[in-house]
Amino acid sequence: GHGGDEEQPQPEPETGAANTFVVAHHYNELKEAGRKDRLKSKIFFMRNFNNWIKSQLINEYMGKIKEQKRVGDAIRVLDMCCGKGGDLLKWDKASIAHLICTDIAEVSVEQCQRRYQDILKRAENSKYAHKFTAEFFACDSTLVRLRERYKDASLQLNLVSCQFAFHYCFESLAQADCMVRNAAECLQPGGYFIATIPDAYEIMRRLKAAGPGQRKFGNDVYSIEFENDADELPIFGAKYQFHLEGVVDCPEFLVHFPTLVKLARKYGLQVLRRSTFAEYYKETLPHGRHLLQRMSGLETVQVNRVANDPEYAHLKHLAGTNRGKPVGTLSKSEWEATTLYLVCAFKKCKNTWDA
Ligand code: SAM
């Protein structure tokens, strides 16, 4: 039949994506920290909190997908910019049937694949564990048409997830267009695209609050620094350097949300949700409290050792006190860093004009 959007003229990726090399290099060089190093991190609780937010988001839309389906129907997911596979266990828990993992950093994709194989091995040893098939490839989602790399190009997806990565495509219109098309084109009608991205409004609000003429703001765990005068920011390529204690030091781009909504509509994606992390936390805490407590990692911190070891000085305030109080575990700096983000969700419509 009709391929649909193949006939539409596509913007040329002529800008050359200079920054994507910087980003890929940065993530390829990142060392995988062991458990002890993670505990030492100043953003230990923020990482757990972000992980909880992703779980809440995935569970929310997975729940909607399961409502549409009959028991036993296969669920297929694309994890776009999967990194080292931080969400693999979430996909496992959601009992999906097939997963596609892709990221620009080939070292990360390899780690992700190894983690998947570990999960499979564990599943083999347990008769209750669930198994799912998966495929992995490294590529730039802002330049390459992902569908052409799938084992089955006619594959219909139920969910596309892009966590803490979608903003890299706002370098240029061509890249953003390509990324949104990748998110949309294999989604079955009624399927969802979910993402977590920095909140451009919040970033601009904090920049203004930093004072006239300022290009930089932040605290002891994160900083954001604009290259150019922040008064005349373009819609695409509004570049800033993002630094997050020990994990990220990368150029990023503001995501102009109304433009994202327009691009999404072009590919049949209708916006359903745009919530800041602070809002989403408030909204989902009532049914996510248990999970947050488990994920906040408090049980695993050996409180007494923490209290006496200078390496864990930043966790000292937790000793003996904060058990069971999830937010209390995030430092003020961590809370400021995590509330830079928002969650968003889109639904794939039958016809692009419905979006
Ligand atoms: N989604 C993972 C998670 O939540 O743990 C990883 C998030 S990490 C902050 C951002 C990821 O985006 C990195 O793994 C990076 O390599 C990837 N990335 C950045 N630009 C990309 C691009 N143009 N195409 C594909 N992946 C990209």
Question: Residue 162 Cα, ligand 1 centroid: separation in angstroms?
Answer: 8
Q: Is 198 in the pocket of ligand 1 (CB under 6 A)?
A: no
ipTM reported for the complex surpasses 0.95: yes
Of 144, 143, 141, whose CA–CA distance to 160 is shortest?
A: 141
Q: pTM for this structure?
A: 0.87
Structure confidence at residue 294 (pLDDT): 74
The pLDDT value recorded for residue 27 is 82
Q: What is the DSSP string of 28-92?
A: HH-----HHHHHH-TTHHHHHHHHHHHHHHHHHHHHHHHHHS-TT---EEEEET-TTTTTHHHHH
Q: What is the mean pLDDT of each run of 10 residues along the chain (355 residues)?
A: 44 55 80 64 87 96 92 92 97 96 97 96 81 96 97 96 98 98 97 98 96 94 90 92 90 97 98 96 86 65 49 52 50 92 97 80
Does ligand 1 have an atom closer than 6 angstroms to the CB of 175? Answer: no
- The answer to whether the CB of 55 is under 6 A from ligand 1 is no
CA of 105, closest atom in ligand 1: 16
Q: Ligand 1 centre and the CA of 266: distance in Å?
A: 24
- Cα(262) to centroid(ligand 1), Å: 23
Q: In what order do the strands lie in the sheet with 222-226?
A: 216-218, 222-226, 239-244, 248-253
Query: Which domains can be identified in the chain, with CATH numbers?
Result: 16-197+255-326+341-354 (3.40.50.150)
Regarding the beta carbon of 178 and ligand 1, being less than 6 Å apart is answered: no
Distances (CA, A) of 3 to 79, 154, 176, 185, 243: 24, 11, 21, 10, 42
Q: Which two tokens mark 35? A: 């458990």
